[in-house]
Amino acid sequence: MEKVGELNISSEHLESQDEHSDTSRQPTTTTTTIIAQMTEEHKNYILKRHKTLDLDPMPSTDPNEPYNWPRWKSRINLFLIAFHALMIGFVAGSPIPAFEAFANDFDVSIDAAAYIVSIQARLSTLLRKMFTR
């Protein structure tokens, strides 16, 4: 018997689970309960849209719920999220070529110009914190 943390695991138990493990996923008790409480219309909608009732969480029949979106709409949203995540690095570095112009316009050093550009990011976090309370 092997002790892992607070759990006692016997190798016989692990072997017996491997022998009896089924590759097809069986619905959990919670899922079965939810399915039993669903209306026939809801079941038919879920089966038509997802081809299975074994879903967790169980989507509603609302077509605006993200689980019920068509595949193309989900992929477009994923692309937009990834695009915006990649653009953060570009936008963060985009004012660097203008530091010299900022330094000349504001009559400060290039280091101070860099701080001037980044101060809006610092102030916006403080303002956001104030408005979220």
**pLDDT tens digits, residue range 3-60?**
444 444 444 544 444 455 555 566 566 777 888 888 888 888 888 888 888 777 888 8
Q: Which domain holds residue 124?
A: 69-133
Number of domains in the chain: 1
Per-residue pLDDT at 18: 46
Is residue 119 domain-resident?
yes
Per-residue pLDDT at 124: 82
Within 13 Å of residue 25, how many CA atoms lie on the same side as its CB? 10
> What is the Cα 36 distance to its own chain's centre?
30
Exposed/middle/buried for 47, CB within 10 Å: 0-12, 13-18, 19+? exposed
The C-alpha atoms of residue 79 and residue 23 are separated, in whole angstroms, by 32
Per-residue pLDDT at 24: 59
Give the pLDDT band of residue 79 (cuts 50, 70, 90): very high
Is residue 35 domain-resident?
no
pLDDT, mean over the chain: 78
The C-alpha atoms of residue 51 and residue 46 are separated, in whole angstroms, by 7
